[in-house]
Amino acid sequence: MFQLSRKHRAAIIAHAREACPNECCGLLVGSGGRTVKLYKLANAENSPLAYRLDPYEQLRIFQEMDNHGWELMAIYHSHVASPAYPSARDVELAYYPEAVYLIVSLVEPARPDVRAFRIKEGAIAEEKVVDDDELTPGV
């Protein structure tokens, strides 16, 4: 199961809509299983069919993560015309097996679909996305 706050879910969906017709991408970082920050990155591919994190932005964020003691929680991107399921290219480029891969589909723009996956050595395993606000009473 992957915990995702309503605020971060809304930010990911908004980023996907802003980037459309191209795919968006970004990172979620945190500690102790809780996401503390979302980073919207530029899609270096600038494409409706693929994404690639900007390597300079990624390096800067990884340095900031090290400075704060954060870990990579998730890598997210959008699919503008296909379901929220990893493509063959997504699987091929899944370099961080410890991270969750979040995909938001805009196939139905009024009802974006956000799903989470672990991708390790080419194997795809879906994880349930839970609203972490629901898991923490009073938040």
The DSSP letter of residue 33 is T
Specify the pLDDT at position 133: 64
CB 24 within 8 A of CB 15: yes
Q: What is the mean pLDDT of residues 37-52?
A: 95
Q: Is the pLDDT of residue 58 over 50?
A: yes
132 confidence band (pLDDT: 50, 70, 90):
confident
CATH number at residue 57: 3.40.140.10
First to last CA, the chain: 19
Q: Which domain holds residue 48?
A: 2-135
138 confidence band (pLDDT: 50, 70, 90):
very low
Question: How many domains does the chain fold into?
Answer: 1
Q: What is the mean pLDDT of residues 106-118?
A: 96
**Side chain identity at 66, as an amino acid letter?**
D
**Side chain identity at 67, as an amino acid letter?**
N
